Amino acid sequence: MLRASVRSSRRSIGHVRGGVVLLGRRGAHKSSFGIALATASKLVTPKWMLNNPVSLVSEEMNTLAKGIMTLIGSGHPTLNKVTSYYFEAEGKKVRPMLVLLLSRALSAIPVEQRNNIKIDFTDFETAPLGKEAVQKFLATPPTDHFSPLNIIHGIQSLKNPLTRAAVPLPDRGVWDEDRGILPKQRRLAEIVEMIHTASLLHDDVIDHADTRRGRPSGNVQFSNKMAVLAGDFLLGRATVAISRLRNPEVVELMSSSIANLVEGEFMQLNNLAMEPERVAKVPAPKKLDLQPHDYRVPVATRGEVPNHTSEDAVIASAFDHYLHKSYLKTASLISKSCRATAILSGAQPPVIEAAYNFGKNLGLCFQLVDDMLDFTMSAAELGKPAGADLELGISTAPVLFAWKEDPSLGPLIRRHFAEPGDVQQVLKSVEKHDGVAKTRALAERYRDQALQNLRDALPESDSRSALEFLTNSILTRRR
């Protein structure tokens, strides 16, 4: 019922706001995001494949999909089916695409300037190292395993293990210097997509979603329990693959990005940093005599908002809360994978820092656009439920911008739109006060910062141009 009212009310928001054509409405300009992905993918596609109209993705992206399937394969057919479910559906795969394109762009930096590596003297016995030795070190593939295989496999038969050693990357002994993507960077792209897909499985359970990528969500198709277990399994396999990159800083970065996803979910449970905790009563299991537990963690210890705190200060705090939550849920994985990509390339600290900031600003831009689409697109166009944030009582940037102009939204936001008519009032206020257009303007500022980060970090190249094209096109994506 609520979702129907959100769809109905949203139709009135969809065309021109402050002279800006909003995303995704019928009659608006066609999205260039898919075109950007296809164009960027050609930069990592062999020439012979460019003549094949069926091939819309690169050699590396095709290898990525195959590599993921080998990494997540288990001895249990049902587990295989659930974990591979989202990989089988058509998806943008923006995160691994960014890793691969950034890898190529970093390779344009001369190898003499990419010598910021922790030398493993089991590989090299003498120092100092010349160009050839550094290049050889950078191009080493991920290790197959650290522990003996019988330990990894456990007591299960080696013919059908639930855990396994790493599957070697194709042509692992040959590094294509012209294309510049290192074996560990290719494996990192696989890992990033595994972590993201695990988060989708978990998110759909948390949000009670019923569609994803245009078909039934994993929790609907297989049950909540199987979706959660499959997500856990993907994260387990991803962390094993991370460790085999043999770089402690990359292990720390990627592992912390998984923790950030959880932290972001807990932050999302509250709209405001200063609001009193809204108790979430979770029914206890029937077989255990336990009291319902409040799973929400206080964001601040101040309790009720002090009387002397102005509404403007509360709104400013809400924006800070929202942006930090957006970083944890979306930008953390993108930014830390970009930083890890630069580290694996041997880049110097200023380049590593710029790569991280590029991912952070791009990720925040991506999330802001995602929050706009929730107001301007239908469920059929998105491939997932539309209006889900309002239905879940979550205040995103369009609502917060409207709140700045309409103080009456404060009580509605604090009670998470729980009373009849709250959603309709919010939608009208967002339309009246140009909440979507203002969100777009903020997304543009993050986009501009991301573009500057690229130019600070990378020399001119086709791959950098592709990254710039992708960054610009995020503002026109439709799903």
Decide: helix, strand or coil at residue 88.
helix
Q: Provide the CA 44 distance to its chain's centre, in angstroms.
A: 22
What distance in Å separates the CA atoms of residue 328 and residue 155, rounded to the nearest whole number? 38
Q: Which residue has the tokens 């998110």?
A: 203
Tokens standing for residue 41: 């993918």
Low-confidence ranges of the chain (pLDDT < 70): 1-58, 90-91, 118-132, 154-178, 271-309, 378-387, 479
**pLDDT of res. 465:** 86
Q: Which residue has the tokens 């911008």?
A: 401
* pLDDT tens per residue across span 266-291: 888 776 665 555 544 444 444 445 55
Which residues have C-beta within 8 Å of that of residue 285, sequence separation ≥ 6?
Answer: none
Query: H-helix or E-strand containing 211?
Result: strand 211-212
* Cα-trace Rg, the chain: 23
- Tell me if 169 sits within 8 A of 186, measured CB to CB: yes
What distance in Å separates the CA atoms of residue 8 and residue 241, rounded to the nearest whole number? 46
Crossing angle of the two packed helices 332-344 and 248-268, in degrees rounded to 10: 170
What distance in Å separates the CA atoms of residue 40 and residue 47, rounded to the nearest whole number? 14
Total-model pTM? 0.79
The total of structural domains in the chain comes to 1
Closest CA to 269 of 256, 280, 253, 285: 280
The enclosing domain of 221 has a CATH number of 1.10.600.10
In which domain, by residue range, is 356 found?
A: 2-476
**pLDDT of res. 147:** 79
| Residue 293 dihedral angles phi and psi, to the nearest 5° | -110, 140
**Could you tell me which residues are beta bridge partners of residue 21?**
16
Query: 458 to each of 108, 253, 448, how far by Cα in Å?
Result: 8, 21, 16
- ∠360-366-372 over CA atoms, to 5°? 140
Q: Cis peptide leading into 46, omega within 30 of 0?
A: no
Tokens standing for residue 255: 């592992």
- Tell me if 426 sits within 8 A of 409, measured CB to CB: yes
**pLDDT of res. 297:** 42
